[in-house]
């Protein structure tokens, strides 16, 4: 027989709270660090998926119509409150005291190669860019934009891919939302040719 302190706490009926389910969802969204799925919200708040989806849509519309400094967006497979893009300079000034914390051109180019050709080895990234990318890849790893995504079965090299943080920072729901820039990067055949010549 379980002791009283081991028994499950009764669930909270979020509909009975001031503002109801919609305000309960809003309260959770204010404290999440990463996008939260509709399924996770429904499970935690004991609501139906339909009710959660309707509340999220209503909140997103309300924030947009109210011209607030924040918005509710579905990104990276879930929902999260973000500051509006037009207020990015204000937020940056507050957080960084006016200092710039942007990625360098080299980091952005390397990140683009990884995003479009992942999983990809460091040597192949360097072959595409024509420069050594060891330091840049380390920077992207440290910032959480890329991660190790396995090992090349033939060469044994570490392969890299993008992270969920990359999707969030780029405002993408998935890699399928990347702009159609892939045709401008070398094809797999060209990379194989470079590899056979020892350049990748």
Q: Give the tens place of pLDDT for each residue, 62-120.
A: 999 998 999 999 987 899 998 888 888 887 777 655 444 578 888 889 999 999 889 99
| pLDDT of 155 | 81
**179 backbone φψ class: left, alpha, beta (φ>0; ψ -120 to 50):** beta
Give pairs for 135-140: CB < 8 Å, separation 24+: 136/104, 136/106, 136/107, 136/110, 137/110, 139/103, 139/107, 140/107, 140/110, 140/111, 140/114
Q: Which residues contact 199 (CB under 8 A, 6 or more apart)?
A: 127
State percent of the chain over pLDDT 70: 81
Q: Distance between the two ends of the chain, CA-based, in angstroms?
A: 65
Both tokens of 111, joined, read 């990140």
pLDDT of residue 184 exceeding 80, the answer is no
Quote the pTM value: 0.49
The confidence score (pLDDT) of residue 93 equals 72
| Residue 180, pLDDT score | 76
């Amino acid at each position: 027989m379980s002791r009283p302190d081991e028994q499950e706490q009764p669930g909270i009926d979020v509909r009975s709270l001031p503002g109801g389910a919609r305000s309960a969802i809003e309260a959770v969204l204010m404290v999440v660090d990463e996008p939260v799925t509709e399924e996770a919200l429904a499970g935690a708040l004991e609501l139906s998926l339909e009710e959660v989806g309707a509340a999220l849509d209503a909140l997103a519309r309300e924030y947009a119509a109210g011209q607030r400094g924040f918005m509710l967006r579905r990104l990276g497979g879930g929902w999260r409150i973000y500051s509006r893009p037009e207020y990015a300079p204000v937020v940056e000034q507050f957080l960084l005291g006016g200092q710039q914390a942007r990625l360098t051109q080299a980091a952005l180019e390397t990140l683009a190669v990884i995003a479009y050709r992942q999983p990809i080895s460091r040597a192949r990234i360097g072959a595409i860019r024509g420069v050594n990318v060891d330091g840049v890849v380390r920077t992207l790893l440290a910032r959480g934009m890329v991660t190790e995504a396995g090992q090349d079965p033939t060469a044994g090299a570490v392969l890299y891919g993008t992270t969920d943080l990359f999707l969030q920072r780029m405002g993408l729901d998935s890699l399928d939302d990347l702009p159609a820039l892939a045709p401008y990067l070398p094809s797999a055949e060209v990379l194989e040719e470079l590899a056979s010549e020892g350049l990748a």
